[in-house]
Structure 1
Amino acid sequence: MISRHFIDVTNADGSRRRVHYRRCGRGQPLLMVHQSPRSSAEYAGLMAQWGQYFTCIAPDTPGFGQSDPLPGSPDIADFADGLVALMDALGLERCPAYGFHSGGIILVTALKRHPQRFTGLAVGGYAIWTPQEMAIFGESYLPPFQPTAYGEHLTWLWNRMLEQSWFFPWFDVRGQARLPGAHADVARVDQAVREMLEAGDAYRAGYGAVLRAPRDIPPADAAVPPVLISAYAGDPLQAHIDRLGALPAGWRAEKVETPADHQRVSLEWLLGLPPVAEVPLREAADEGFARVVTADFDGLVHWRGPAGATARVAAPGRAISLFAGAGIDAPGHGLSDDWSGGSGRAAWDAVLAEVARQRGFAGLAFEAPAPGDPALLYPDLTPDRFGSHLARAWSAVRAGCFFRPWHQASAATAIPFDAAAITPERLAAAHLALLQARSARAFHTATGDQDGNS
């Protein structure tokens, strides 16, 4: 079972940043570094498989998922050193690691700079770009990603993430750039879109550092831990296996047929490395996830704040990311797991009360839900082939700044508004919270009569 945690890490300049990580399994630790512009969520399935052999630890890299970005204008060395700083914070002295694509670039850089911290690596694809390929990328690969007042950025984002499996680079719409594994898998595209929405413009720092990184494999006589680099047919980086050149002793590069073959050879390689003792991992004290099991719910609930505080429960359609102080994301909202239980208020109260008990909150204060019919307040945001659910959510959030309820635009329903509340940045935060509110209707129906503290 995957658990989720936060931890604070010290940067090179002495500042602190918060890192989110997933954990699964037991036994010796295995660090897993995701590709850009994704998050550790992409490893959920793999962690469930490999958790029988390792304690899998998958952080969101800086600026992605729920992790804070690195300060300044970081390069690949900063990301590598930041990963080692995370290992320090977690209490990991030495361990094996796995990374895919840009995750592998970060890991190889970290291994070269801190070889004593790794028993070895398994890497999925390692890019060795030619000067001509880098010229094609230029600045086109990482355009600024800024929210716009009317949500136009969402159309670009959906199609950019959809077509990145059609062409590589994604913007190079030529026959020569077509990929063999093109798809229109709505669930996969939607997950990637949500991760980009979480990262925002910070994606350019992390992705840019990887693209600008020198692709220097250690010389053949270098004394470095062993590394396996493998890539499957259809991966645009499989051809780069032939560009690696002479490898250090103990390194191996291999072309395989399928993603499953890549995962198989990677696991075999990792299991063949010198074993490392299991260690207790550390985590932040003021934010985390409570594992709650009731008759109606079995999952993780996100909380924030010190023990003894009164926790604010975000209203249906909202998340605690929208306000400061102690709070709880109800199931099916924010970072909490989906709700699958009963529809009555008692079922929801039981879950929230258990979170409060585990955390030691003094009580709960419910944000008042918006007035109106839940069926109209919360539009159907099921992802579709054209990404139109993104526009529906944006329109609802924007209209909600001017009318109450938002779906009745008239003089009678107009409400005062603050210009600061309708900046694209504020709208983008509320938009992401609404997309995350998969159980808004059910929560509203169950708790809509709640008007006080509990």
Structure 2
Amino acid sequence: MTDAIFQSSSPEFIEIDGLSLRLVRSEGQGLPILMTAPWPQSIYAFHGIWGALTRLGPIVAVDLPGFGRSERRPDLMAPQPMGDFVLKLAAALGIARCHAIGPDVGTSALLFAAAARPDLFESVVVGSGGANMERLGKGLRGVIEAPPGAYGEPEGGAQVVGTITRMTRTTPPAEAMEDFRQSSLGRRWIEAADYVRAYPRDLPRLEGLLPAIRTPVLVISGAHDPIVPPANGDFLVERLPHAAHTVLDTGHFVWEDDPDGYATAVSAWIRGGYRSA
């Protein structure tokens, strides 16, 4: 059975490294495109850009461990180990080289992965993800710095629905919103926050690796993002040897607020723009 949002495709679960992971694939020609979903959303966050991006090549979009509907393992809930997991994920999917797109939490994971295995990535698209502790928004810093158990609500699903509704210009489709709710039920939101709570340890490590990453990187930021201000994108571009920064007139959820602008930027990049970065 196909899914209304993913057109001729339907999400599936596969086991990788002992974890049940959810992903969705599209058919196509050319170099594969590996996409990781943002938090606190899921692969359904790509509802507004899926159709445009499937014209660029075959896609595999995945909920990384602990996010969306994928199983969690505590040792993976930090940027550097998640980057290592991305390499295992690509190997399990038979991907030898790809373009990768990772908004939000995928930013740090993909950059760690690119530092470890530059041969895997033709290019990387990131953004809306923390890059430097001093440049994070107040709300995100509050989650990171709060004592364990002192943040979040007992029922994460309702909290996430409220947050996304409040922070997006147009509320996502009901099917997507229900998936976001289910992805954060109970303590899943609080447990997923362990990833960003590892930023004080892992982001300085990533900073030291950035100058050696030769992979072309496109950073897409929202000009009015209160969670991860575009200064984080500036931080990355200042240190990466081959990078470009596109800032769109949106808040944090760039792919929701301006799906056409996001898809246009990614399409131009993957169709050859990355070669001049």
Specify which of 100, 105, 109 is matched with residue 102 of structure 1.
105
Specify which of 198, 203, 209 is matched with residue 214 of structure 1.
203
Please, what is the CA RMSD of the aligned residues? 3.5
Q: Which amino acid aligns with 1:204?
A: A
Residue aligning to 2:133: 129
Cα drift, residue 222 of structure 1: 2.3
1:192 maps onto 2:180 in alignment: yes
Identical-residue share of aligned pairs (%)? 21
Between the aligned partners of 2:43 and 2:165, the Cα distance in structure 1 is 20
Q: Which amino acid aligns with 1:261?
A: G
Cα drift, residue 228 of structure 1: 0.7
Cα drift, residue 19 of structure 1: 1.9
Between the aligned partners of 1:103 and 1:203, the Cα distance in structure 2 is 13
Between the aligned partners of 2:196 and 2:159, the Cα distance in structure 1 is 19
Q: Which amino acid aligns with 1:271?
A: R
Instruction: Verify the 8 A CA contact 1:230 1:255 in the aligned structure 2.
Output: yes
What whole-Å deviation, never above 9, does each CA across 1:47-98 have from its counterpart, x for those lacking one?
A: 2221122111011110223322235464322111111101111111111101
Between the aligned partners of 2:247 and 2:69, the Cα distance in structure 1 is 34
Between the aligned partners of 2:225 and 2:26, the Cα distance in structure 1 is 27
What whole-Å deviation, never above 9, does each CA across 1:119-175 have from its counterpart, x for those lacking one?
A: 1111133423318857543444974899xxxxx944x75245414665xxxxxxxxx
Instruction: Verify the 8 A CA contact 1:96 1:120 in the aligned structure 2.
Output: yes
SS in 2 for 1:108: helix
Specify which of 3, 11, 18 is matched with residue 4 of structure 1.
11
Higher relative CO (Cα under 8 Å, sequence separation at least 6) belongs to 2
Between the aligned partners of 1:190 and 1:6, the Cα distance in structure 2 is 18
1:228 maps onto 2:228 in alignment: no
Residue aligning to 1:278: none
What does residue range 395-410 of structure 1 map to in structure 2 within 5 Å?
none
1:238 maps onto 2:230 in alignment: yes
Between the aligned partners of 2:44 and 2:184, the Cα distance in structure 1 is 12
Q: Which amino acid aligns with 2:269?
A: W
Cα drift, residue 35 of structure 1: 1.2
Aligned residues: 251
SS in 1 for 2:68: coil
Cα drift, residue 270 of structure 1: 1.6
Residue aligning to 1:23: 25
Between the aligned partners of 2:171 and 2:110, the Cα distance in structure 1 is 31
Between the aligned partners of 1:5 and 1:184, the Cα distance in structure 2 is 25
Residue aligning to 2:263: 263
Instruction: Verify the 8 A CA contact 1:218 1:248 in the aligned structure 2.
Output: no
Instruction: Verify the 8 A CA contact 1:66 1:198 in the aligned structure 2.
Output: no
Instruction: Verify the 8 A CA contact 2:143 2:151 in the aligned structure 1.
Output: no
Between the aligned partners of 2:144 and 2:48, the Cα distance in structure 1 is 34
What whole-Å deviation, never above 9, does each CA across 1:342-372 have from its counterpart, x for those lacking one?
A: xxxxxxxxxxxxxxxxxxxxxxxxxxxxxxx
What does residue range 13-412 of structure 1 map to in structure 2 within 5 Å?
16-27=18-29, 28-70=31-73, 72=75, 74-127=77-130, 128-130=132-134, 133=138, 136-140=142-146, 143=149, 153-154=154-155, 157-159=157-159, 161-163=161-163, 166=166, 187=174, 190-197=178-185, 200=188, 202-209=191-198, 213-214=202-203, 216-217=206-207, 222-236=212-226, 237-244=229-236, 246-258=238-250, 259=258, 260-272=260-272
Distance 1:244 1:51, change over 3 A: closer
Cα drift, residue 246 of structure 1: 2.3
What whole-Å deviation, never above 9, does each CA across 1:156-206 have from its counterpart, x for those lacking one?
A: 75245414665xxxxxxxxxxxx7x56777846544322212872542344
Residue aligning to 2:3: none
Between the aligned partners of 1:70 and 1:41, the Cα distance in structure 2 is 22
Gaps of 5+ in 1: 11-15, 147-151, 167-178, 276-454
Residue aligning to 1:360: none
Distance 1:248 1:184, change over 3 A: closer
What does residue range 413-452 of structure 1 map to in structure 2 within 5 Å?
none
Between the aligned partners of 1:223 and 1:106, the Cα distance in structure 2 is 13
Distance 1:162 1:189, change over 3 A: farther
Distance 1:265 1:41, change over 3 A: same
Q: Which amino acid aligns with 2:264?
A: R
What whole-Å deviation, never above 9, does each CA across 1:367-399 have from its counterpart, x for those lacking one?
A: xxxxxxxxxxxxxxxxxxxxxxxxxxxxxxxxx
Q: Which amino acid aligns with 1:4?
A: P
Cα drift, residue 111 of structure 1: 0.9
Distance 1:79 1:62, change over 3 A: same
Cα drift, residue 109 of structure 1: 1.6
Distance 1:73 1:182, change over 3 A: same
Which structure has the bigger radius of gyration?
1
